[in-house]
Amino acid sequence: MKYVIHEHHASHLHWDLRLEHKGVLKSWAIPKEPSDDPSIKRLALEVEDHELDYAKFEGTIPEGEYGAGKVKIWDSGTFDAIEFTGSKVDMAIHGKKLNGHFHLVKFKKAGPKSWLFFKAKDPA
């Protein structure tokens, strides 16, 4: 399945994680650059789904439109979903920058759209 992270220079720089699921790109905005260090967890705010073709988008969203600003692909590839539910996504990411087992878990204390994105620790 498709995986992409867009670097989005909108009103605030952030990274948009997008995962193909049930015919759309499920999407989360990550305020700080994603990391492959298992000790670093990034807040990921769930946003609206996007069409699958958006995985290839790079360019400028015009001023006055939602998300106005420059968008470029920061990482892309595929992922294998191990578990994909409304509160947890376990996956193996096969990207150019991020590779390995990652988690997205609902972070209920921070709000209904808040998740944490992080790399799994390697087995000992």
Residue 60 is assigned to a structural domain of this protein: yes
User: How many C-beta atoms lie closer than 10 Å to residue 73's C-beta?
Assistant: 14
- pTM summary value: 0.94
User: Which amino acid is present at 84?
Assistant: F
How far is the C-alpha of 19 from the C-alpha of 95, rounded, in Å?
12
How far is the C-alpha of 119 from the C-alpha of 79, rounded, in Å?
13
Q: Residues near 124 by Cβ (< 8 Å), separated by ≥ 6?
A: none
- DSSP code of residue 62: P
Confidence at residue 109, expressed as pLDDT on a 0 to 100 scale: 87
| Number of folded domains that form the chain | 1
Question: Per residue in 70-107, pLDDT tens?
Answer: 999 999 999 999 999 999 999 999 999 999 999 999 99
Residue 56 is assigned to a structural domain of this protein: yes
Confidence at residue 124, expressed as pLDDT on a 0 to 100 scale: 56
How far is the C-alpha of 7 from the C-alpha of 57, rounded, in Å?
11
Question: Per residue in 16-47, pLDDT tens?
Answer: 999 999 999 999 999 999 999 999 999 999 99
- What domain range is 107 assigned to? 2-119
Residue 124 is assigned to a structural domain of this protein: no
